[in-house]
Amino acid sequence: MNDLFDKFQPMIDLRAGLLASGVEDPFGLVMERVISPTVAICNGRETILLGTYNYMGMTFDPDVIDAGKEALDDFGSGTTGSRVLNGTYIGHKQVEEALKEFYAMNHAMVFSTGYQANLGIISTMAGKGDYIVLDIDSHASIWDGCKMGDAEVVPFKHNDIEAMEKRLKRIPEGAGKLVVLEGVYSMLGDIAPLEQMIGIAKKHGAMVLVDEAHSMGFIGPNGRGVAEDQGVLDQVDFVIGTFSKSVGTVGGFCVSNHPKFEILRLVCRPYVFTASLPPSVVATAATSIRKLMHAGNKRAHLWENSKTLHKGLKDRGFQLGTDEPQSAIISVMMPDLERGAAMWEALLKEGLYVNLARPPATPANMTLLRCSLCAEHSAEQVQTIIGMFERAGKVAGIIG
Ligand SMILES: Cc1ncc(COP(=O)(O)O)c(C=O)c1O
């Protein structure tokens, strides 16, 4: 018998080798208790959280929690159905209203995850005979959406404006074109030059989708993302986002001004053929989104945190993903997986949790320690974090 697991042998060996070196499993951490958006108990010890994408710290907001509890009491634990059958409750409509207001757009469609939002919108909009032009460092959900839709997929070098235009020029006259970009790329924490890229996409007659998963709530004067910040949100056909980062719960969405947008509710398979979000989740999301409309102070504090951490790590000799802080993600480059895992473990022993990222999720075979800051991290916590990095970096031999 051909064992279908054989294809995973290289991954099995890599993992066994890593664990044999005595390092703790970086992909098996358990949060035994969560005390706040920035502190949890892991392995029995208090740990500062610096790898949760909980950018705005909404998970413990008292209004958000109350809304969830109330919905749980009033509507039960789940909908047990698709949005197009028995799975649309008043809460689903309310969260879509909140999104329309948040983005000042005409249409909003909520999915069960951000992954499904990309899968659904991309595969439904770009099918056989159409072309998708996308950044090579796009999130897995974008690639999977491309695969599912069966369009011609044309990747270009990360954030390379000229390469993008070259690809667009080669597409046959009259073919349907979708350009897919992200506001913030989550591996290195860098932003896209959306103003130029969207201008070029439009010049070539393409529709544009921007995934603002890592910028919603934080970047832009109203927290609408990088497209808002660069003044081109009105040219974006589809904004994709998630509730699993700044919003602080789970779920995904697409907002749009396209007049025919609503038909997607009937033709988009990852929307139709899955159960809708539980009432408590949509209630927490709606409350959180409404609060994010007025979160200017939190946004300003998060920028301060990002700048302080970036400078603190750079000054101590760490190699970072960007020269300047561009988002709430600060990526620290590791020489290889072994030393990356050793540094990750040394940080955990210090009482700090960050994400260890490795290929194939990372670009160019990099091993990264990805730090995502939260608006609820205090200035003191950020200083503590810098001290932890310095000590762990010396133990793991990353800095001198
Ligand atoms: C850019 C991007 N898009 C989409 C997603 C998927 O979001 P969700 O966690 O809601 O499935 C993620 C999640 O990591 C992401 O980073």
Question: How many whole angstroms from its chain centre is CA 140?
Answer: 11
Spell out the domain ranges in the chain: 30-56+295-395, 61-292
Atom of ligand 1 nearest to the CA of 252: 10
Answer whether 355 contacts ligand 1 (Cβ < 6 A).
Answer: no
Residue 249 to residue 54: CA distance in whole angstroms:
9
Contact 96, 108 (CB under 8 A): yes
Ligand 1 pocket mutation pick from 112, 118, 139, 215 by most atoms within 8 angstroms of CB: 139
pLDDT of 363 strictly over 90: no
Ligand 1 centroid distance, CA of 108 (Å): 17
Q: How many CA atoms lie within 13 A of 219 on its CB side?
A: 26
Answer whether 87 contacts ligand 1 (Cβ < 6 A).
Answer: no
Answer whether 213 contacts ligand 1 (Cβ < 6 A).
Answer: yes
**In the prediction, which pLDDT does 27 show?**
83
Answer whether 249 contacts ligand 1 (Cβ < 6 A).
Answer: no
Atom of ligand 1 nearest to the CA of 185: 1
pLDDT class of 18 with cuts at 50, 70, 90: confident
Q: Can you tell me which residue has the tokens 């005409």?
A: 106
Residue 377 to residue 55: CA distance in whole angstroms:
10
Find residue 133's DSSP bridge partners: 154, 179
**In the prediction, which pLDDT does 309 show?**
98
* The amino acid at 124: T
CATH code that applies to domain 61-292: 3.40.640.10
Prediction pTM value: 0.96
Q: Is the preceding peptide bond at 278 cis, omega within 30 degrees of 0?
A: no
Least confident of 14-23, 147-156, 212-221, 363-372: 14-23
Residue with CA closest to ligand 1 atom 8:
114
* C-alpha distances out from residue 23 to 81, 339, 392, Å: 43, 10, 14
Q: How many CA atoms lie within 13 A of 201 on its CB side?
A: 29
Domain 30-56+295-395: homologous superfamily in CATH: Aspartate Aminotransferase, domain 1 (3.90.1150.10)
Task: List for the chain the helix, strand, coil content (%; round to 5).
Answer: 45, 20, 40
- Give pLDDT tens digits for 223-262: 999 999 999 999 999 999 999 999 999 999 999 999 999 9
